[in-house]
Amino acid sequence: MQSLRNLPADTLASLRFLSRLPVPYSENTPLPDFQKQAHTFPLAGIIIAAPATILASISIWLGLQPLVVAIIAIATTIIITGALHEDGLADVADGFWGGHTIARKLEIMRDSSIGTYGTLALILCLSLTAALMAQTLSAMSSTQFAISLITSASLSRAAMLWPWVSIDNARPTSSQNKSQRKDEAGLSARFGMPDHGTMRATFVISLAPALLLAATFGIQTTLIVLIAASLGTLAMTKLAHHHIGGHTGDILGATQQIAHLGFWIALAATTQAP
């Protein structure tokens, strides 16, 4: 499959986009083309989750309480990503519920300051995720928890591609506005929209974490978790289409957060303490 070639270089491009990791870069490094490279988002998610998984495992070994372990894992991931996805969630909450027109909502989403809706969205999402992680850790082994961290990070970043390809760009380039800067034109105009080959490759790559999840927790739990994450993804896509008529980079970040939350809600609901 053409999209599965050059995996190392494509994965590095995704890591540069999705994280603050010191990925090698030079003047000869080509600009990202996510029309062909976005299939490596799930792989980038695994790498991004690795430091959090290691620190969480050490924290468990030291005997720290489950909630403390969960907070350490979340905080580590936020540091690695530079709060990229959390910023998207906050911007979306502020824009969707702070504006009354599409233009105003997009304007608010571009504003770097955070408002009441964004603050509440972050508090609710992060605190709920931490509580769910702590609950699941109390009912499983450290190895199972590590696998959960890795697979949730991978699959939630695969979910980001759905609104990217299923709804229009909310900030398209305008042939009538020649002065519009490319960085104001939206994600697709800057990086390209993933094509069908890239989406197929994303599905193939996402099978690995899904199968790992099934081998760890069983097929029934895995299906419930995947359905929950998918419902979160679809809900975020529907909201984006309703409020602003398309996607932006903030929408993709918010989608990752909601899919990730759906993953942990389902896993906590299907994992019982011994």
Query: Each residue of 158-216: pLDDT tens digit?
Result: 999 999 999 999 987 544 444 445 445 566 667 778 988 889 999 999 999 999 999 99
Residue 228 within any structural domain of the chain: yes
| pLDDT greater at residue 185 or residue 35 | 35
Distance of CA 44 to the CA centre of its chain: 10
Q: Which helix or strand (DSSP H or E) is residue 109 part of?
A: helix 102-110
Residue 109 within any structural domain of the chain: yes
Residue 118 within any structural domain of the chain: yes
Q: Determine the structural domain holding residue 133 and report its residue range.
A: 37-173+181-270
| Number of domains the chain is built from | 1
Task: Tell me the two tokens of residue 207.
Answer: 């099978």
Q: By percentage, how much of the chain surpasses pLDDT 90? A: 78
pLDDT tens digits along 95-131: 999 999 999 999 999 998 999 999 999 999 999 999 9
Check pLDDT > 70 for residue 87.
yes
Residue 30 within any structural domain of the chain: no
Per-residue pLDDT at 173: 58
Residue 1 within any structural domain of the chain: no
Residue 147 within any structural domain of the chain: yes
Find, among 259, 19, 254, 236, the residue nearest to 118 by Cα.
254
Q: Reduced to 3 states, what is the DSSP secondary structure of residue 101?
A: coil
Residue 269 CB burial class (10 angstroms; 0-12, 13-18, ≥19): middle
Residue 248 within any structural domain of the chain: yes
Residue 203 within any structural domain of the chain: yes
